[in-house]
Structure 1
């Protein structure tokens, strides 16, 4: 399986995870022009809509009732030092997103649980926890959009900005074994953007037995699929990296395991 999904240069769909590529995670990203609308239907899944850039209105209907959120948006690029607006939509939701400017949005999906009774909710920028991870040339900036401390059935969503010349998701770690409290099983996708957009980053996905071992040159708006294994990212000098992570699995807990060959890096 090729773990790199290339983005489309034209059209409404920027990139989409192929049907059946992963069991738990679904992902797509879209570009909308002023006045254009995008219909959403959750079905038996739960959704997290992340506004990457631009301004939108959202209105819809969920089993718990109607919802409407107007004039959302506070950043024109994912590289601004701002958290995003996002929205959680439970199973059974129908919604429509209307662009009030040029817009990029991401749609994250995972199995839902209608019996849980979770309602639709707006996630405002001030609700997103921001933190700095790593040190030196391993420093990156994290924004938790839908962490395991907030209500959902399966979805975990986080975005990360990594400076020029830095590494990220590093030292290499994995979360592909259901062995809590030591490690959880979570599939994952990485949606990448690059600044300036003609750049690229490198990402490797590999397992201990090397049954998976792919090293990829990832360009703007490409998607990397992580069914299992370690998945570090390296950002070349002169370019800045953004990625949006979506994780989901049988248990909504993020517990990872570092590659023991590289765990010495934590002592630096």
Structure 2
């Protein structure tokens, strides 16, 4: 890793971007994939928990905290660019311990989800938790607050997403991630939420990433889609080797 502090570098990548130039953050699942993305020229990376889980042999959401933090640390050590970590809903850890363990990995930031087991958390309680994380982390972590309203469905998704996004921004979140929000909703979400917006993109449609930026996304991540695409390539290779 570089001896300079990567956190301000990562934070600066979210500022002053042209609408058609969103920050694209590939999702490494191990050290080898992280090095590949760095060698391709990406300035920062963001681990997806589902992809890391798959690489470790777990179903999404079932990775023990110790193994997830260890995997993140290996990825961070393998590259010289900033790495943000998807830590799901925080593994039930108190905010102080969560921050300490994240900092031990060398990650510059984190995703924190506002649902557990397919159930949305109370937005005010989640805002309080984000405020605790911010209090213990200070400026040492870039906090991306994931909003799972569109993922889980329900009435009046846009209003609920905006309410949560505003609460989380006030609590200290640096960025808000309304995962799976439709592109058509991004302009209204970006206008209503006073921090950068993270959109969910597809590696199968790189030409659409610029458009997501024009619609209001400051940054774009891909969840486990890159790891899943890589595994399809492995299956095809295996099938070819196996033969008819």
Q: Under TM normalisation by the shorter chain, which class is it?
A: 0.3 to 0.5
Scaled by the length of structure 2, what TM-score is found?
0.33
Bigger share in strand: 1
- Answer 1 or 2: which has greater helix percent: 2
Q: Could you state the TM-score of these two structures normalised by the residue count of structure 1?
A: 0.31
